[in-house]
Amino acid sequence: MSVTRVAVVGSGPSGAYTAQLLTEESETPVEVDVFDQLPTPFGLVRYGVAPDHPRVKSISTSFAEVFEETPGLRFLGNVCVGTDVSIDELRAHYDAVVFANGAPLDRRLDVPGEELARVHAVREFVSWYQGHPDQSADAFVLDGKRAVVIGVGNVALDAARMLVREVDDLRRTDIPEHIVEAFADSTFDEVVVIGRRGPAFAKFTNKEFIELLEVESTDVIVDPADLELDAEQQAHIDADPAARRLLATFQKAADRGSLGRSKTIRFLFDRTPVAFVSDEAGGEPAGTVAGIRLTKTSDPSVIETLEAQLALRSVGYLGKAIDGLPFDERTGTIPHRDSRVVDGDEIVQGVYVAGWIKRGPNGVVGTNRKCALETVTSILEDIAARGGVSSATSAEAIDDVLRSRGVGVVDWNDWRAIETAEVAAGTAVGRERVKLYVREHMLRVAAVGGELAGVPAHA
């Protein structure tokens, strides 16, 4: 029986779980190549999970063991599928192609002023402080007094918490040194988190909110009046134990009130953003946000304007269409049936999806394991249906294609060299580790086996 070869596009949680489960669940030999457009693996575990959540980020250690200990499993980083190699080429070289490339775009509010400077998607802010190589190193200057975060999910809370973190806390993380210095220079002392619905419908977890309450430098303010629930919220609380626990913690925060700390995170519920405004008096450069106009969602006649020098919208990630594959613009996902990509009523043979591009941006890291298992089950069913016969080429064949186009593929050993350099960069500034954040520097380090070799110490 021949070896089945599978390409997985994306090395984040859904891609890593898919690769792992393919090798564990298959009763016949399977080889898996995991492609990523970045020189580094693990996707949102590296660039999305908050840097002050080391226990969640540590799942990358488990993924690393899979790559290191599984025969026939390869990492091919710094390869852009669709540019360096086409989808049709992948389909020709592999028995199955799995798209697990996440949701790289952002939903918009579609309100006036959203184009003003210093109005950003929260993804841009997260990518900046995480040292994502595709985000400009100087994208944010934290020189305001008040920031607003629109949205009440876990990512919104991460962003709010990062804006008030003490520098000593940040130095215990792996974020680049220039980011630590930017936060050290920050003049923000208040963050307002805005929820369009009432507190009963907040999406962040109780654990995340409790962690916010434990930030010693920061008051967390919840208006007791916002906790007076209408019938819809009460019905939701009655039916959802998790929402009930979160509301109880909101009440504790409201009862605690202000403790006179140096920074404040304030929650406003039942508010709908209707416009971002610039400073007509000239206090900010023309075209720069100076405030946000809100209405009460339950009573649009009530209007208020908050001054703000930074606005982060955190209203959802969105999948990106992939040339050559069907796409649902409404949901931002690739249509599928049991993880098999479908174009109308027709199955696109040999093409599958996993993760956010399959189901939308929801769930936690572990949610992707169940999602990946569904995908793997369909792949293995289809392999069995054709009697285990493979039509794939060899690993050498796809390597030859990439080499002929001058693609500087980063393999697993190259990635380990980058890791070694990050530890060395951390040692240079008295930290455990500091991320490299410039792609060219990563590739240079990978080429010389982990030596910094002219790469700036903090790069």
* Span 218-238, average pLDDT: 97
pLDDT of residue 426: 93
* Span 142-155, average pLDDT: 96
* Per-residue pLDDT band at 424 (split at 50, 70, 90): very high
**Which residue from 270, 268, 288 is spatially nearest to 278, judged by alpha carbons?**
288
Segments making up each domain of the chain, as ranges = 4-104+319-410, 108-315
Per-residue pLDDT at 351 exceeds 60: yes
Per-residue pLDDT at 194 exceeds 80: yes
Cα–Cα distance between 179 and 51 in angstroms, integer? 12
Tokens 């269409």 identify what position?
A: 321
Cα–Cα distance between 356 and 99 in angstroms, integer? 10
Per-residue pLDDT at 384 exceeds 80: yes
pLDDT of residue 279: 77
What value does the mean pLDDT of the chain take?
93
- 427-450 pLDDT, tens digit per residue, is 999 999 999 999 999 999 998 875
Angle, helices 154-164/122-130, rounded to nearest 10 degrees: 50
Cα–Cα distance between 414 and 393 in angstroms, integer? 24
Give the SS3 label for residue 273.
Answer: strand
* Per-residue pLDDT band at 458 (split at 50, 70, 90): very low
What is residue 328's DSSP assignment?
Answer: B
More confident residue, 11 or 366: 11
* Per-residue pLDDT band at 293 (split at 50, 70, 90): very high
pLDDT of residue 316: 92
What percent of the chain clears pLDDT 90, i.e. is strictly above it?
A: 89
* Per-residue pLDDT band at 281 (split at 50, 70, 90): low
- 95-105 pLDDT, tens digit per residue, is 999 999 999 99
In DSSP terms, 96 is beta-bridged to: 6
Cα–Cα distance between 41 and 44 in angstroms, integer? 9
pLDDT of residue 104: 93
* Per-residue pLDDT band at 238 (split at 50, 70, 90): very high
pLDDT of residue 284: 60
- 14-71 pLDDT, tens digit per residue, is 999 999 999 999 989 999 999 999 999 999 999 998 898 877 777 889 999 999 999 9
Per-residue pLDDT at 282 exceeds 80: no
Cα–Cα distance between 416 and 60 in angstroms, integer? 13
CB-CB contact of 433 with 426 (8 Å): yes
**Which residue from 401, 400, 410 is spatially nearest to 442, judged by alpha carbons?**
410
Phi then psi for 133, rounded to 5 degrees?
-65, -15
- Asked: is 108-315 a CATH 3.40.50.360 domain? The reply is no
Residues whose CB is less than 8 angstroms from the CB of residue 342 and which lie 6 or more positions away in sequence, other chains included:
326, 335, 336, 348
Residue type, position 358, single letter: K
- 7-20 pLDDT, tens digit per residue, is 999 999 999 999 99
Architecture of the domain made up of 4-104+319-410:
3-Layer(aba) Sandwich (3.40)
* Span 211-215, average pLDDT: 95
Cα–Cα distance between 316 and 291 in angstroms, integer? 22
* Per-residue pLDDT band at 457 (split at 50, 70, 90): very low
**Which residue from 373, 353, 395 is spatially nearest to 26, judged by alpha carbons?**
373
Per-residue pLDDT at 456 exceeds 60: no
* Span 410-417, average pLDDT: 96
Per-residue pLDDT at 453 exceeds 60: no
Per-residue pLDDT at 452 exceeds 60: no
pLDDT of residue 109: 96
pLDDT of residue 286: 66
Rg value, the chain, Cα: 24
pLDDT of residue 403: 97
Residue 113, both tokens: 């002023």
DSSP sequence for 306-317: EE-SEEEE-S-E
**Which residue from 129, 270, 254 is spatially nearest to 193, judged by alpha carbons?**
270
Per-residue pLDDT at 280 exceeds 60: yes
Per-residue pLDDT at 261 exceeds 80: yes
**Which residue from 37, 57, 33, 87 is spatially nearest to 350, judged by alpha carbons?**
87
* Span 231-242, average pLDDT: 97
- 69-85 pLDDT, tens digit per residue, is 999 999 999 999 999 99
Q: How many CB atoms lie within 10 A of CB 115?
A: 10
Residues whose CB is less than 8 angstroms from the CB of residue 11 and which lie 6 or more positions away in sequence, other chains included:
34, 35, 36, 41, 42, 43, 75, 77
H-type alpha helices, 336-433: 356-359, 367-385, 395-404, 412-428
Phi then psi for 342, rounded to 5 degrees?
-125, 145
Residues whose CB is less than 8 angstroms from the CB of residue 313 and which lie 6 or more positions away in sequence, other chains included:
106, 107, 108, 109, 114, 119, 120, 121, 122, 150, 151
- Name the helix (H) or strand (E) containing 250: helix 241-256
Per-residue pLDDT at 459 exceeds 80: no
Q: What pTM was computed for the model?
A: 0.92
**Which residue from 213, 51, 207 is spatially nearest to 126, judged by alpha carbons?**
51
- Name the helix (H) or strand (E) containing 342: strand 340-343
CB-CB contact of 109 with 150 (8 Å): yes
